[in-house]
Structure 1
Amino acid sequence: MSTLKGMTTMVLTAEDVDKAAEWYSDLLGIAPYFRQPEEGPAAYVEFRIGADEDELGIMNRAYAPEGTTAGSSSITYWYVDDVEAALAKLLAHGATTHMPVTPRGPEFVTASVIDPFGNVLGLMYSPHWSGQH
């Protein structure tokens, strides 16, 4: 039995959650489905992305565990059909390159960016993932 059974929610942090939500809404073409609190400055928002409705949350950095800083040494990779095209779209939206497009083996390609709020987002094309969806 696997300890890690699948991703539930990837949580990014930002000083201004509303500004981050607007940036991600523009990038993804969808609005958050959840916002807390409902009125006033947001402390947390959440999007559902892709066929599996994976959850992407954005939390106010003030609520992050002590010692947490912008960005992370851990990278969550999101499946994309075309890493180069996805990277170009993110860069056009104001992200910066963290790691360029990198072949990782037969048919595996990755890249990563830093969003305008200091979070690392990984992009991956994997034939194992695409074959299941």
Structure 2
Amino acid sequence: MPGTTATQGIKTMLHPVSDLGKAKAVYAALLGVAPQIDEPYYVAFEAAGQHIGLLPGGGPQGLTQSLAYWHVPDIEAKVAELTAAGATVKDAPKDVGGGRLVATVVDPDGNLLGLLQDS
């Protein structure tokens, strides 16, 4: 049962880390690039069209597992489609700056699905 709004794929992935320095070294080796953002609260890499973020202690979201963000053209429509299909909303769409909207839903098995809409 296809939805009415297709995704643009997974382009953003966040990983909670316990040791930011060690994680930064591993991801730099994996991706072959230095971080584009390197702050004590967030380290981010841009590689092959993807944004890979490292969140010490799970960041303000309190992540305990990695979270993939599916980029979508209409976040409200996609949240409605997903909830109609059986997902539940964990975090409703909100603006995180620069017109970027994010939301998190939970599938029937408890997996987190991130949604991201750029303006």
TM-score (norm 1): 0.42
Greater RCO between the two (CA within 8 Å, min separation 6)? 2
TM-score (norm 2): 0.47
